[in-house]
Every structure is written in structure tokens, then in C-alpha cells.
């Protein structure tokens, strides 16, 4: 026997071979289905109940779709904002790289100028040393010429010695000898 209960509270017994058939409740007139023995039988919903369920289902479906749409818009806005922040970060990073490159170029230019100044100073020192050596050599040669009596040739070398290094000892000594020759 299959036990069938109606929503109105009435209970009925149906034979096992009646499984899968329908009948009307004698109390309220609701159509009931006889189902397998292990399952409980529920009444067949009326057209109004089906319409209400469909409307509720459509309303729920519309709410779900609206929520999905809102979530999609929010996701787009957040993604758009994240992309804008990424672009801004990239611009800042590229600006920092450009500033670093400019700083490096400026540093390299300053370093190059310092190196040029050092080279120029080094060349000036080398030139001064060469002039001192030449002045000393001219003075020594002029002394030998004076001993040999070649005063004009000695005078020329003494003038060169004075012109090459006027503040050096050899330049001062050459100037003194020239004064005595006049």
C-alpha cells in the first residue's frame, strides 16, 4: 500500500499498482499523484500556483541577471581604474628612468670636463717643465759660448732662456748675464 497525504491534511491509501496515477482529494478537490512507495506524494500544483512560481522564478532570475550586470559593471570600473593606475605607474617609472638617464649624462659630461681640465693642467705642467729644461739648456749653452767669445750667439740663447722661463732660476740668471753684457 502507498500512503498519500494531501496538503489539506487528508490521508489516503492506494494500492501499489496505482503508482504513477492521479486522483482528486475527496476533502478539497486537489489532484494528487500516487508515487513510488518510498517517496512521499505531493499534490499537483494548480495553474495559479504554477503561474506564481513562474513569476517568482522570473523575478528571481531577473534579480540574478541584474546582480550579474552590476557585478560586471563594478568589475569593469575596477579594471579600468587598475589599468589607469598601471598606466600612471608606468609613466612615473619612465619619467624616473629619463631623469636618471639625464643625471647620468650630466654626470658623464661633468666628469669629461674634469678629465679635460686635468689633461690640460697636466699638459701645462709638462709644457712648463719642458720650458724650464730648455731655459736651463740655453743658459748652459750660452755660458759655453761666452767662454768661447761668441757673445752674439750667447746673447740669442740667453734671451731665449729668459723668454722660456722668466721666473725660474735659470731665467733670472740669464737676465742677469744679459744686463752685464750691455
Quote the CA–CA distance of 67 and 118 in Å, as a whole number. Answer: 75
Distance CA(49)–CA(86), nearest Å, equals 54
Cell of 106: 650630466
Q: Which residue matches cell numbers 528571481?
A: 60
- pLDDT of residue 56 exceeding 70, the answer is no
- Assess contact for 21 and 34: CB atoms under 8 A: yes
Residue 106 is predicted with a pLDDT of: 87
**79-138 per-position pLDDT tens digit:** 888 888 889 999 999 999 888 888 888 888 888 888 888 888 887 788 788 888 888 998
pTM of the model: 0.36
60-89 confidence digits (pLDDT tens) = 777 778 888 888 888 888 888 888 888 999
**Domain limits of the chain?**
1-44, 126-181
178 neighbors 159 (Cβ within 8 angstroms) = yes
Dig out the grid coordinates for 116 from the structure: 679635460
- 1-44 adopts what CATH topology? Rubrerythrin, domain 2 (2.20.28)
Amino acid at each position: 500500500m502507498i500512503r498519500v497525504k494531501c496538503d489539506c491534511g487528508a490521508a489516503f491509501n492506494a494500492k501499489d499498482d496505482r503508482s504513477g496515477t492521479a486522483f482528486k482529494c475527496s476533502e478539497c478537490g486537489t489532484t494528487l499523484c500516487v508515487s513510488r512507495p518510498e517517496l512521499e506524494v505531493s499534490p499537483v500544483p494548480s495553474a495559479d500556483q504554477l503561474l506564481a512560481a513562474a513569476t517568482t522564478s522570473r523575478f528571481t532570475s531577473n534579480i540574478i541577471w541584474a546582480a550579474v550586470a552590476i557585478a560586471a559593471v563594478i568589475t569593469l570600473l575596477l579594471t579600468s581604474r587598475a589599468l589607469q593606475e598601471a598606466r600612471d605607474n608606468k609613466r612615473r617609472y619612465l619619467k624616473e628612468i629619463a631623469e636618471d638617464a639625464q643625471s647620468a649624462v650630466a654626470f658623464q659630461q661633468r666628469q669629461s670636463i674634469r678629465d679635460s681640465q686635468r689633461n690640460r693642467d697636466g699638459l701645462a705642467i709638462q709644457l712648463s717643465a719642458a720650458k724650464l729644461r730648455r731655459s736651463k739648456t740655453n743658459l748652459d749653452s750660452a755660458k759655453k759660448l761666452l767662454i768661447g767669445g761668441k757673445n752674439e750667439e750667447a746673447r740669442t740663447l740667453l734671451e731665449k732662456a729668459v723668454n722660456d722661463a722668466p721666473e725660474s732660476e735659470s731665467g733670472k740668471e740669464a737676465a742677469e748675464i744679459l744686463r752685464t753684457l750691455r
